[in-house]
Structure 1
């Protein structure tokens, strides 16, 4: 080996030793892995002493919990007790009412139905005639007349005038016989779409029905609508 080669080798070795010795050894203990880093406390967490462990809990904190538990248990027991009392009262009342009532006694139900049910004023209007019927609350008829009973014959029974005269005659008889004094409530029952439907309604709203108009409490349409059934009659062709 030549002198120049040995000189270069010595210079490289000396440079390595100088670079290694320039790093301070005091900085090595401050280098630690991330898993061993201490945990930062939260901002709102109170500072605890070094002697107390985080899992330690004083006995004073357990007393309010036990008191709350006892109060909740007492409340639940009171609620269940009150519900049981209500259930007993209801069962006793139902048994007493069941023993007191007689299934064969219909006087109470009949009087209640009579008080609640009004009289009925039926208007049955067809294409060929008009029928008017006044019934009691128990559906027994008082007056039942049609256009044929007051002198109209054949085609004259289906007209508007005949239905209006029929309504005037029926309401006049109700007033003359004093039946309107017995009527407290009146239900108007309409059936059919003939001309008498509008004629009787006009008579009831006019001077002829002044004694019955204010007693109407309900209006019912009892027109029967066909749904299915047998085949209809062939329509009549004129001309």
Structure 2
């Protein structure tokens, strides 16, 4: 299974606005005010490019209808569109240091893997993906993707749910952060086999190589209270 990652929002910078303070008479014929040089301009996208990228930009006088800066900006926007289609980091995200901000987040011990929880019982299927510190990345059930009532317990509902969760992880670029992942199975519903098929199929090709452990956390009762009377059919 592959690594996991997600970045879709770029920080926006707005001009700083200033306001004249009210006159406060501290002593006779004196007042205080806030002096400013006017609103600041937000830095352009080209000024935020690395030096190597700035040196590659075409130099010379701007042309009519947009100029050199406009053509460079159009190139950057086109590269961003292609990167989003391929689920890769965009040029804007690289400029704003999105990867550095993610690296600062504490995900827990380095030896602890990510966790892919599959809870499949006879009425529904729940899938939760967590970080090494047990913080949830995504948590969905069959009812969240449109299956209602008895359809939530079917094989197809669990299959589509697992494919949906993996697709969301890819859209978020989380597969680039996962170095190791543990699959935790719980319950003996139809979703147990369906989720396994997805992970071993085409949808799970990006995460399959990262699986280092498969465990079963199904609850087993030893003694305890008496079980409910079995359902009688017919």
* Bin for the TM-score computed over the shorter chain: 0.5 to 0.7
Aligned counterpart for 2:159 among listed residues 144, 156, 164 = 164
Aligned counterpart for 1:219 among listed residues 211, 214, 218 = 214
Partner residue in 2 for 1:197: 192
- Distance of 1:180 and 1:236 partners within structure 2: 44
Partner residue in 2 for 1:121: 116
Partner residue in 2 for 1:132: 127
The count of aligned residue pairs is: 129
Per-residue deviation, 1:154: 0.4
Per-residue deviation, 1:156: 0.1
Per-residue deviation, 1:140: 1.0
> What's the Cα RMSD here?
1.4
SS in 2 for 1:190: strand
SS in 2 for 1:207: coil
Provide Cα deviations, 1:28-81, integer angstroms capped at 9, x if missing partner. Answer: xxxxxxxxxxxxxxxxxxxxxxxxxxxxxxxxxxxxxxxxxxxxxxxxxxxxxx
Kindly report structure 1 stretches of 4+ aligned residues shifted beyond 3 Å. Answer: none
Alignment of 1:69-218 (within 5 A): 114-218=109-213
The normalised TM-score by structure 2 is 0.54
Structure with the higher fraction of residues in helix conformation: 1
Per-residue deviation, 1:227: 0.4
Per-residue deviation, 1:238: 1.3
Per-residue deviation, 1:223: 0.6
Relative contact order, higher structure (CA 8 A, sep 6+)? 2
The normalised TM-score by structure 1 is 0.53
Partner residue in 1 for 2:228: 233
Partner residue in 2 for 1:65: none
Question: Structure 1, unaligned stretches of length 5 or more?
Answer: 1-110
SS in 2 for 1:184: coil
